[in-house]
Amino acid sequence: MRTLLVFSACCLLAGAASAKDAPASAAKGAGAASEPAASAPAGSTATLPVIKKPVRKLTPKQQEEQAEAELSAKIAERLAEMRANQAARIAAAAKAKKERDAREAKAKLVAATAPPPRANGTYWTYEGEFGPANWSKINSDWGKCNAGTRQSPIDIRDGIKVELEQIAFDYRPSAFSVTDNGHTVQVQVGAGNYLSVAGRMFELQNVHFHRPAEERVNGRSYEMGIHLVHKDVEGKIAVLALMLERGRPQPAVQTIWNNLPLEKRDTFTPSIVLDPNDLLPERRDYYTYMGSLSEPPCSEGVLYLVMKETVQASPAQLALFSRLYPLNARPVQAAAGRMIKESQ
Ligand SMILES: [Zn+2]
């Protein structure tokens, strides 16, 4: 019952406090002085009423009512204080969120307009973090590796069968050196080895190996591949690609294996010669398409000449390379509607 009374008093007083002129009218007239009345002190901005002490002696009922009213006023005051504190906390939290949002928006804007961090790494691999999917992120000059549309290798299929001109080889026994460059075994061949095709003459620069072969033919993949990289006087590149299959020993491959350097990133220069003709298959039919370097920087405009006849190598010769490089082939890239021509 007392709780109900307190609650009622609280509500009544709060109602009176919200009506500006209520305390003034309650204080009007001498008769009104006998009643407990609330009035705001002059100049006060407080919304809560202040209880005046009775002038005359009060009846017990009046005393009880006054006590109730005083208690109610205190409760109302405390409630108002709590509400004010709560409102202040909400306002502070809202302000902090607004400031945080502004900071985040600014950081986003800075990140969007700032130039990308300069990438100039040169370390790359065929697998993992530095593998083909991330080559373009390693060095700012390697963008073509992931953004190019004329990339190599590809799966060679749907070629247009035409009378392709024969490739004219002008290879000769040459001095050579063998390097294990960390990506493959690469043979540098002395000057004066040429192939001619499409009215251009390209000089042999190096011979290197991939496992498996990078190019596929009608979806088929080969255990190993050889690339003979050529360059013409204008710097244009032509790659002659050979597919290696299990079979009889390959004499030129054996000569190269015999002269491997003992250490990675080392070069061995023997005092014998290597004849690049010994690597070529008998038949000279080929597929041709425009592609790219199949390793960083993935430069495009590279002429590919992929020999149709495979070259054989012995299981031991293939096994030796697999110990050095179990996987050093870039995955096939989208042909993207490129024209592929092939000998009839
Ligand atoms: Zn290659």
CA 227 to ligand 1 center in whole angstroms: 5
CA of 122 to the centre of ligand 1 (A): 17
Q: Tell whether 284 is covered by a domain.
A: yes
Q: How far is the CA of 229 from the centre of ligand 1 (A)?
A: 8
Give pLDDT, residue 52. 58
- 111 and 90 in contact (C-beta within 8 Å)? no
**Structure tokens belonging to residue 223:** 């255990």
Q: In this structure, what CATH number is given to the domain that contains residue 337?
A: 3.10.200.10
Please name the residue that has the structure tokens 């149709």.
308
What are the pLDDT digits (tens) for 225-240? 999 999 999 999 999 9
In this structure, are 165 and 254 located in the same domain? yes
What is the pTM assigned to this prediction? 0.67
Residues 58 and 174 in one domain: no
- List, as one string, the DSSP characters of 146-211: HH-SS-S--EE-SPEEE-PPPPEEE---EEEEEEE-SSSEEEEE-S--EEEETTEEEEEEEEEEES
User: Does residue 108 share a domain with residue 215?
Assistant: no
The alpha carbon of 248 and the centre of ligand 1 are apart by a number of angstroms equal to 23
> In the chain, how many domains are there?
2
Shared domain for 101 and 177, answered yes or no, is: no
- Ligand 1: centre distance to CA 104 (Å): 47
pLDDT per position as a tens digit, 124-174: 999 999 999 999 999 999 999 999 999 999 999 999 999 999 999 999 999
What pLDDT was estimated at residue 36? 42
Determine the distance separating the centroid of ligand 1 and the alpha carbon of 199, expressed in angstroms: 24
Please tell me the predicted confidence (pLDDT) of residue 86. Answer: 87
Let me know if residue 123 belongs to a domain: no
Regions of the chain where pLDDT drops below 50: 1-46
Distance, CA of 142 to CA of 61 (rounded, Å): 95
Q: How far apart, in whole angstroms, are the C-alpha atoms of residue 156 and residue 241? A: 12
Question: By three-state DSSP, how is residue 79 classified?
Answer: helix
Q: Point out the domain boundary residue: 112, 143, 161.
A: 112
**In this structure, is residue 139 part of a structural domain?**
no
Looking at the fold, whether 99 and 164 belong to one and the same domain comes out as no
CB of 223 closer than 8 Å to CB of 163: no
Q: Are residues 107 and 185 in the same domain?
A: no
CA–centroid distance, 210 to ligand 1, in Å, is: 6
Residues 197 and 312 reside in one and the same domain: yes
Give the total residue count for the chain. Answer: 344
Tokens for 259, please give them: 């002269």
Cα of 198 from ligand 1 centre, angstroms: 22
Residue 178 lies in a domain: yes
Ligand 1 geometric centre to CA of 153 (Å) = 9
> Could you tell me which of 259, 295, 314, 42 has the C-alpha nearest to residue 182?
295
83 and 229 share one domain: no
225 CA to middle of ligand 1, Å? Answer: 8
The reply to whether 293 falls in a domain is yes
121 domain residue, yes or no: no
48's tokens: 């809560």
Q: Measured between alpha carbons, how far is 223 from 213 in angstroms, rounded to an integer? A: 6
Q: If you ran DSSP here, which 8-state letter would residue 305 be given?
A: E
Pair (255, 317) in one structural domain: yes
**Residue 117 lies inside a defined structural domain of this protein:** no
- Looking at the structure, do residues 73 and 176 belong to the same domain, yes or no? no
Same domain assignment for residues 315 and 247: yes
pLDDT at 17: 42
Q: Which domain holds residue 163?
A: 151-343
Q: Specify the pLDDT at position 106.
A: 79
How many angstroms separate the alpha carbon of residue 289 from the centre of ligand 1?
Answer: 15
**Pair 118, 137: CB distance under 8 Å:** no
Residues 81 and 207 in one domain: no
235 phi-psi bin (left φ>0, alpha ψ -120 to 50, beta other): left
